[in-house]
């Protein structure tokens, strides 16, 4: 009897302890809430993601008809849906039954991290579902940490970073497909039943085709200034997969994002921690524009380096001389960019290789020794010249790659990615290979490329870090036979470790992420970088489209945008210099041209543009808020956007003609982002017209400008004008 009552008490205690929390977990940003139900011993339930709500409304979410779907769907007990996680246990069991075990929170700098620990009901297998927010940002970062203490490795077949149910309705999805020289093309479509999969399996340059960001517009066709939208950016530099599964019998689309697991299942050892990449999500009811501004603020504050510094105006040598690097030309280019007011010169590909000189793209990668035939004074000579001309100096490298024709490959063929019993498949120049960064020795080699340059020549202020081929021939000469499927993941872990070492030692150097143009535009790689090369396509007209798509998630400070020669080297199109300049000035301004081939008038025009950019609009473009006004994708004949300073006392308005037809009616563009109650004086920048615009020097209220805009003449009254008109207006509050 005594024994029985003790047992009853114990049972009652266990029941109470078991119910110790039936918790609504709130993950709040200043204006949004994600609410999850974490009841101990039960499945984790997603209840709500939307406008920030009160505790009282949160308590009634279920009564109101909340989704109440598994917040991190596990494969097994109900195998019908798309799982976020699927494993094979050490004993061969293919199911998981994850239930809530604990909820905890911690502070990380200025951020709050909430962790919900899920534990399998039978196996010692754990998933921490993590959410990070900070009071300054509208972004929720979510990821998972997976571990176990089973007897042998557990095979992870699925391991998404996050899951989000999206209520069916008139939902549209915007995604960004692309290819070399045509990156970040915006595609918006209604979300219908079936599967929508967005993925990139390049292995190295994982923004090469599709981008790992999407926007869900919940109130129909996406709009800039209205409607509920959810943006999601998977922050990962390797293979990724975003999936929307619209299951027919429920009211929800199911969105999952994470590493692409194709041939990448992972053998997780007991006690090893597998951390999935961050999935950054944001919600607003104010449309695409506000969503972009939220991502830009968060990106500038937390995911891109040195955004407190304004970016230098630079000249890059690539389109000017290609591989034809020679000391006199480098000297001349430095003198020219300095004379036009530029601040930095970047020597691109072609400067290295002794036994295998880099005279073309078929040899030399791997041998980062100066070719003294081309540069007798070596890098010290170039640094002297830069000092003499009063510009900083930057240099191009592609340290993850090697050519067959290289001393590195001769010595170490075992360092390249290659499957056993297969001939090598080459990339660029039909001789390029990817170094196997899963191998710590290769990580050392890549680190040493940068370390040697920066230790010997600490004056190098800027590095352009390029990567120009995908993983081919999936196989690692370093990883064991059992772990070949780890290659894609371990490559990017190796890259991250190497970049950590570089940044620990060289926190200040500016590094550009380039990968055949914009194939590394991703928040997974940017934390070690300062900017990206937006595209190898420098054609001003096509750049409007590429930069427009890129601007959905990435801020202008990171978006390298260069004035180049005509006919354009990628499209063959000829456009007047003002247009080319006006497009380049809407991003991080630079030049990609042989200045020697420019006329004195053209140099003067660029000198003035650079001067105006530096003295008037650089902080507005690089630190301001973006307002997209008229999309080139709407095919209205023109495109327009503007940036406003956070204080709204300064703004810069860009307008570009994108189609040229006689008597076409171009829309009048309403401005945005101004203070309606302030008055702004308007002045045109980069003016080429003989006669000033009618509104030059006039003042208008912010309200008038935002309600009506100003009429843009669609042609120029200038000697060098062609059919491509453009305008840049500075608006200064009085």
Q: Which residues contact 20 (CB under 8 A, 6 or more apart)?
A: 40
* CB nearer to ligand DGJ: pick between 202 and 349: 349
Q: Which residues contact 161 (CB under 8 A, 6 or more apart)?
A: 142, 143, 144, 234, 236, 257, 258, 259, 276, 277, 278, 279
- Please provide residue 648's backbone torsions phi and psi, each rounded to the nearest 5 degrees: 65, 25
- The count of C-alpha atoms lying within 13 angstroms of the C-alpha of 657, restricted to the half-sphere facing its C-beta, is 22
Q: How far is the CB of 458 from ligand DGJ (least distance, A)?
A: 23
In Å, what is the CA distance from 521 to each residue of 72, 184, 643?
28, 9, 21
In Å, what is the CA distance from 709 to each residue of 621, 629, 671, 702, 712?
20, 10, 5, 9, 9
* CB nearer to ligand DGJ: pick between 287 and 549: 549
| CA–CA gap between residue 679 and residue 473 (Å, rounded) | 62
The catalytic residue among 200, 436, 536, 625 is 536
Instruction: Check if the beta carbon of residue 530 is closer than 8 Å to that of residue 622.
Output: no
Q: How far is the CB of 318 from ligand DGJ (least distance, A)?
A: 5
* CB nearer to ligand DGJ: pick between 562 and 648: 562
* CB nearer to ligand DGJ: pick between 52 and 362: 362
Q: How far is the CB of 518 from ligand DGJ (least distance, A)?
A: 8
Query: How many helices (H) and strands (E) are present in the chain, helices listed first?
Result: 14, 36
Q: Which of 159, 202, 210 is nearest to 474 (CA)?
A: 202
Enter the tokens of residue 460: 């190098």
Task: Please report, to the nearest 10 degrees, the dihedral formed by the alpha carbons of residues 458, 460, 461, 467 taken in order.
Answer: -120
Q: Which of 213, 220, 164 is nearest to 191 (CA)?
A: 220
Residues lying near ligand DGJ in the complex (CB under 6 A) are found at: 318, 348-349, 396, 466, 468, 514, 516-517, 533, 536
Pairing, β 45-51 against β 69-70: antiparallel
* CB nearer to ligand DGJ: pick between 316 and 439: 316
Instruction: Check if the beta carbon of residue 243 is closer than 8 Å to that of residue 255.
Output: yes
Q: Which residues contact 487 (CB under 8 A, 6 or more apart)?
A: 264, 417, 436, 438, 471, 474, 475, 476, 479
Q: How far is the CB of 388 from ligand DGJ (least distance, A)?
A: 25
536 classed as catalytic = yes
Q: How far is the CB of 396 from ligand DGJ (least distance, A)?
A: 6
Q: What are the residues facing 166 on neighbouring strands?
A: 253
Q: How far is the CB of 620 from ligand DGJ (least distance, A)?
A: 27
* CB nearer to ligand DGJ: pick between 401 and 685: 401
Q: How far is the CB of 323 from ligand DGJ (least distance, A)?
A: 8
Q: How far is the CB of 643 from ligand DGJ (least distance, A)?
A: 25
* CB nearer to ligand DGJ: pick between 224 and 530: 530
Burial class (CB in 10 A: 0-12, 13-18, 19+), 271: exposed
Q: Which of 722, 724, 725, 676 is nearest to 701 (CA)?
A: 676
| CA–CA gap between residue 465 and residue 584 (Å, rounded) | 21
Q: How far is the CB of 520 from ligand DGJ (least distance, A)?
A: 10
User: Is the backbone of residue 323 left (phi > 0), alpha (psi -120 to 50) or beta?
Assistant: alpha
| CA–CA gap between residue 608 and residue 600 (Å, rounded) | 12
Instruction: Check if the beta carbon of residue 127 is closer than 8 Å to that of residue 71.
Output: no
Kindly write down the DSSP assignment for every residue of 653-709, as one continuous string: EEEEE----TT--PPPBP--SS-TTSEEEEEEES---SS--TTTT-EEEHHHHHHH-
Q: How far is the CB of 587 from ligand DGJ (least distance, A)?
A: 15
Q: How far is the CB of 283 from ligand DGJ (least distance, A)?
A: 35
Q: Give exposure, 483-500, as e/b (b: 16+ Cβ within 10 Å).
A: bebbbbbbbbebbbebbe
Q: How far is the CB of 360 from ligand DGJ (least distance, A)?
A: 10
* CB nearer to ligand DGJ: pick between 427 and 624: 427
* CB nearer to ligand DGJ: pick between 125 and 529: 529
* CB nearer to ligand DGJ: pick between 382 and 397: 397
* CB nearer to ligand DGJ: pick between 200 and 466: 466
| CA–CA gap between residue 240 and residue 211 (Å, rounded) | 9
Q: Does a cis peptide bond (omega within 30 degrees of 0) precede residue 324?
A: no
Report the run of H or E that residue 314 belongs to, with start and end: strand 314-316
Enter the tokens of residue 561: 């945008």
- Please provide residue 620's backbone torsions phi and psi, each rounded to the nearest 5 degrees: -70, -45
Instruction: Check if the beta carbon of residue 357 is closer than 8 Å to that of residue 350.
Output: no
Enter the tokens of residue 221: 């066709």
Handedness of CA 202, 206, 208, 210 (dihedral sign): positive
Q: How far is the CB of 468 from ligand DGJ (least distance, A)?
A: 5
The catalytic residue among 202, 466, 530, 539 is 466
Chain residue whose CB lies nearest ligand DGJ: 349
* CB nearer to ligand DGJ: pick between 141 and 536: 536
* CB nearer to ligand DGJ: pick between 284 and 468: 468
**Catalytic residue annotation:** 466, 536
């Amino acid at each position: 009897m005594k024994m029985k009552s003790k047992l009853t008490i114990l049972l009652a205690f266990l029941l109470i302890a078991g119910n110790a929390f039936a918790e609504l977990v709130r993950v709040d940003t200043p204006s949004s809430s994600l609410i999850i139900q974490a009841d101990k011993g039960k499945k984790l339930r997603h209840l709500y993601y939307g406008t920030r709500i009160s505790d009282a409304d949160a308590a009634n979410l279920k009564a109101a008809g909340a989704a109440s779907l598994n917040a991190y769907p596990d494969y097994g007990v109900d195998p019908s849906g798309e799982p976020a996680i699927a494993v094979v246990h050490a004993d061969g069991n293919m199911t998981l039954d994850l239930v809530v075990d604990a909820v905890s929170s911690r502070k990380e700098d200025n951020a709050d991290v909430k962790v919900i620990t899920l534990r399998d009901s039978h196996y010692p297998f754990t998933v921490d579902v993590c959410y990070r927010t900070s009071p300054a940002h509208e972004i929720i970062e979510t990821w998972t940490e997976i571990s176990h203490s089973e007897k042998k490795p557990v095979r992870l077949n699925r391991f998404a970073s996050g899951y989000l149910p999206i209520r069916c309705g008139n939902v549209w999805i915007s995604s960004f497909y692309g290819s070399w020289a045509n990156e970040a093309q915006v595609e918006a479509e209604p979300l219908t039943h079936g599967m929508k999969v967005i993925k990139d399996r390049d292995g190295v340059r994982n923004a090469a085709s599709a981008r790992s960001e999407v926007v869900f517009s919940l109130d129909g066709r996406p709009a800039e200034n209205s409607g509920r939208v959810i943006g999601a950016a998977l922050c990962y530099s390797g293979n990724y997969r975003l999936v929307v599964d619209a299951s027919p019998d429920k009211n929800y689309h199911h969105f999952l994002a994470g590493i692409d697991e194709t041939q990448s299942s992972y053998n997780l050892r007991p006690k090893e921690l597998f951390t999935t990449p961050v999935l950054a999500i944001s919600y607003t009811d104010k449309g695409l524009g506000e969503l972009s501004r939220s991502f830009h603020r968060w990106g500038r504050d937390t995911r891109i380096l040195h955004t407190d510094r304004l970016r230098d105006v630079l000249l890059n040598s690539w389109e000017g001389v290609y591989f034809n690097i020679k000391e006199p030309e480098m000297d001349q280019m430095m003198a020219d960019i300095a004379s036009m007011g530029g601040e930095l010169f970047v020597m691109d590909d072609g400067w290295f290789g002794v036994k295998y000189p880099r005279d073309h793209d078929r040899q030399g990668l791997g041998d980062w020794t100066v070719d003294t035939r081309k540069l007798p004074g070596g890098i010290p000579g170039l640094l002297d010249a830069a000092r003499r001309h009063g510009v900083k100096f930057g240099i191009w490298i592609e340290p993850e790659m090697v050519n067959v024709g290289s001393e590195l490959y001769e010595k170490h063929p075992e360092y390249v990615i290659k499957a056993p019993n297969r001939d090598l498949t080459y990339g660029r120049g039909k001789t390029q290979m990817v170094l196997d960064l899963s191998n710590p020795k290769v990580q050392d080699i890549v680190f040493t490329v940068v370390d040697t340059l920066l230790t010997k020549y600490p004056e190098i202020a800027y590095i352009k870090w390029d990567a120009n081929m995908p993983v081919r021939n999936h196989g690692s000469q370093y990883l064991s036979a059992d772990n070949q499927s780890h290659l894609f993941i371990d490559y990017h872990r190796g890259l991250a470790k190497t970049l950590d070492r570089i940044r620990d030692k060289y926190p200040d150097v500016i590094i550009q992420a380039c990968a055949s143009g914009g194939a590394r535009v991703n928040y997974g790689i940017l934390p070690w970088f300062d900017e990206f090369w937006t595209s190898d396509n420098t054609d001003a007209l096509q750049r409007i489209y590429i930069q427009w798509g890129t601007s959905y998630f990435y801020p202008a400070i990171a978006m390298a945008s260069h004035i180049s020669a005509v006919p354009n080297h990628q499209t063959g199109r000829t456009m007047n210099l003002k247009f080319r300049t006006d497009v380049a000035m809407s991003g991080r301004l630079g030049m990609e041209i042989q200045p020697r081939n420019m006329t004195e008038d053209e140099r003067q025009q660029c000198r003035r543009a650079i001067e105006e950019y530096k003295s008037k609009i650089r902080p507005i473009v690089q630190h301001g808020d973006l307002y997209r006004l008229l999309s080139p994708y709407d095919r209205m004949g023109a495109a327009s956007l503007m940036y406003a300073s956070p204080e709204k006392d300064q703004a810069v308005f860009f307008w570009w003609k994108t189609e040229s037809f006689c008597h076409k009616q171009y829309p009048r563009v309403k401005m945005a982002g101004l203070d309606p109650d302030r008055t702004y004086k308007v002045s045109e920048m980069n003016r080429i017209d003989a006669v000033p615009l009618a509104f030059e020097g006039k003042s208008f209220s912010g309200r008038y400008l935002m309600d009506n805009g100003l009429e843009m003449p669609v042609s120029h009254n200038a000697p060098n004008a062609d059919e491509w008109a453009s305008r840049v207006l500075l608006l200064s509050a009085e």
